[in-house]
Amino acid sequence: MRKRPQQQRAKRIVDDILEATLYCISQHGVLHTTTPKIAEISGVSVGSIYQYFQNKEQIVEELLMRKSEKLGLGFKALVMEEQHKSIQEVIQNSIEFGFESLKADQGFLIEILKNWHEYSESESAQVLEKHFFEVALYVFNRFYSHWNFETLKHKSFVIINSTLFTMMRYVSHNQFLIEEARLKTELLTMLLAYLDSPNTE
């Protein structure tokens, strides 16, 4: 951001800008979202928008940062509530959480994923990956305490990236000959089999 709002009124203006950006992207896609459209929907003048953001890309990045932080903390809260559940239940509920999150906010994240090459190296993507990695280390260390740290780290990396890529690919380019319920079942089966596979180290 060009400058962080300090007063409540300024914070409300920024929130209005971000909400309008989310709506615009959800309805029209990233490429057709423009600063004038954001201004029209938010009721905030283009000049006022530029007081806080240099361009549209900076607005989207701030919105993604907030969504990434919220999504990551929500995922952590979900896992902490499932202390007494089996690894199968934890993974199953995590997959459900992932699909629900990707489809939330009128499909905002789905539209972002269609242009993921623009955001895959962004700070918001790194924040989200950090949250997911911390959750994976915590969960798998609880159920597979005999693993050494290298195994724990490698398994977490493979599971996070293979699962996220599959889910992202499905929701953003849904032309596959598989229904969502079947995909969830296949993901669960694949992950459980991988977790129980012999370690090569």
How far is it, in rounded angstroms, from Cα 185 to Cα 150? 28
Residue 188 lies in a domain: yes
What amino acid occupies position 172?
S
Q: What is the pLDDT of residue 119?
A: 85
Q: What is the pLDDT of residue 116?
A: 83
- Sort 43 into a burial class: Cβ within 10 Å, 0-12 / 13-18 / 19+: exposed
19/70 same-domain check:
no
Q: What is the pLDDT of residue 90?
A: 96
**Greatest alpha-carbon span in the chain:** 60
List the one residue out of 113, 111, 114 whose CA is nearest residue 27.
Answer: 111
Measured between its terminal Cα atoms, the distance across the chain in Å is 45
How far is it, in rounded angstroms, from Cα 63 to Cα 86? 35
35/108 same-domain check:
no
28/113 same-domain check:
no
- List the structure tokens of 64: 């993604």
Along the 201 residues of the chain, how does pLDDT read in single tens digits?
888 888 999 999 999 999 999 999 999 999 999 999 999 999 999 999 999 999 999 999 999 999 999 999 999 999 999 889 999 999 999 999 999 998 899 889 989 988 888 888 888 889 999 999 999 999 999 999 999 999 999 999 999 999 988 988 888 876 667 899 999 999 999 999 999 988 645
Q: Of 32, 54, 76, which residue constitutes the final position of a domain?
A: 54
Residue 165 lies in a domain: yes
- Spatial contact of 42 and 20, defined as CB atoms under 8 Å apart: yes
31/78 same-domain check:
no
117/175 same-domain check:
yes
- Buried b / exposed e over 98-113, threshold 16 CB at 10 Å, is bbebbeebebbbbbbb
At residue 177, the 3 state secondary structure works out as: coil
Q: How many domains does the chain have?
A: 2
Q: Which domain holds residue 23?
A: 1-54
Residue 201 lies in a domain: no
**Which domain CATH number covers 139?**
1.10.357.10
125/172 same-domain check:
yes
Q: Which DSSP helix (H) or strand (E) runs through 103?
A: helix 87-113
What amino acid occupies position 110?
I
Residue 73 lies in a domain: yes
Q: What is the pLDDT of residue 174?
A: 65
Residue 130 lies in a domain: yes
116/185 same-domain check:
yes
Q: What is the pLDDT of residue 199?
A: 67
Residue 200 lies in a domain: no
Q: What is the pLDDT of residue 44?
A: 96
How far is it, in rounded angstroms, from Cα 135 to Cα 190? 19
